[in-house]
Amino acid sequence: MIMSRVTSLLTRFRKETSGVVTVEMVITLPLLIWSLAATFDYFEIHRHRAVREKATYTLADMLSREQAPVTAEYIDGARDLFNAITNDDDPVQIRVSVVTYDGDTEQFRVVWSRLGGTGALSALTDTDVQSGNVPLPQMIPGQQIVIVNSLSTYNPAFNVGLSTNMPVETSQFMNLRFAPQLCFEDTCG
C-alpha cells in the first residue's frame, strides 16, 4: 500500500511539466553568477602569471646581453622595469643570480646573487643549486648563466575559493650572450 502510493507520487512528479520561472531563476541564478565570477578569477590568475613570466624573460634576456658590471641601482631599475611591463603597483621582489658550472668538482656554484625589493625571496646559495632545488640546464665547465626569479602576489577579485595574497613566483635562466661573465660591481667569480 505504501509502496504503491510512493510510486504514484513519483510518477505524478515526473509527469508534472508546469513550473514557475521565478522559482527556477532563484535556484539557478546564484550558481550562474558564481560560475561567471569563478571563470573570470581562474582566467585572471593565469593571465597574471603569464604576464610575469614574460617580464621575467625580458629581464633575463636584458641581463644576458649586458657587458658592463651590474650595480644595485641596475637591479632596482630592473625591478621598476618589471613593474612597468606588468603594469603592477603591488610589491614585487626580484632575484638576479649568476651560476657557473665547475668542471673539476662537477658542481654548480653561485657567483653572485642579489635581490631587488623586499619579500620572501633570499639570495641564492651554493647549497640551493647543489641540492637540486633550483632547476638548472646542463652546462659546460666554466659556463655562466643568469637566473632571474620574481615573486609577487595575486588577490582574486571575487571570493570563489581562491586564497588572498596568493604568491606567484616565476623563474627564468638564460645563457650569457656577448660576454663570458656577468659581474656585479666587483664580483666576477
Distance CA 110, CA 80 (A): 25
pLDDT tens for each residue of 104-145 = 888 999 999 999 988 899 999 999 988 888 888 888 998 999
Strand segments (E) across the chain: 93-102, 107-116, 144-154, 166-175
Whether the pTM exceeds 0.85: the reply is no
Handedness of CA 73, 51, 174, 126 (dihedral sign): positive
Distance CA 53, CA 185 (A): 27
pLDDT tens for each residue of 67-86 = 999 999 999 999 999 999 99
At residue 5, the pLDDT reads 87
Domains of the chain: which residue ranges?
A: 2-175
Total residues belonging to the chain: 189
